[in-house]
């Protein structure tokens, strides 16, 4: 089960911490907003470095006001079960 376990503030920007299979992850859009870079630029960076970063990036379903939404998340541990 995926759920938002808390919302932290990073430089005044809300960042969601998502829990999936006892692992904490952060949605990619929240990372981009928190560090002040363009979301598409961050996606391009991940795509260019896919082989190096693949174990830290995964797509998960997270709750949203309109239902569940597939979201790219980053993991510090590099262990996301749903990325395949």
Write down the mean pLDDT value for the chain: 81
Q: What is the pLDDT of residue 84?
A: 41
Across the range 53-75, mean pLDDT stands at 84
Compute the average pLDDT of residues 25-50. Answer: 91
| In this structure, CATH architecture of domain 2-83 | Orthogonal Bundle (1.10)
| Domain edges within the chain | 2-83
Max Cα distance, the chain (Å): 34
Examine the pLDDT at 40 and tell me if it is beyond 60.
Answer: yes
3-state DSSP of 13-68: EEEEEEEECCEEEEEHHHHHHHHCCCHHHHHHHHHHCHHHHHHHEEEEEEEECCEE
Q: What is the pTM assigned to this prediction?
A: 0.75
């Amino acid at each position: 089960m995926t759920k938002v376990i808390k919302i932290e503030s990073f430089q005044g920007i809300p960042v969601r911490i998502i829990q999936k299979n006892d692992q904490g992850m952060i949605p990619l859009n929240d990372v981009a907003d928190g560090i002040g870079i363009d979301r598409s630029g961050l996606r391009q960076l991940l795509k260019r470095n896919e082989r190096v970063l693949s174990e830290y990036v995964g797509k998960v379903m997270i709750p949203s006001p309109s239902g569940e939404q597939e979201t790219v998340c980053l993991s510090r541990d590099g262990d996301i079960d749903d990325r395949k």
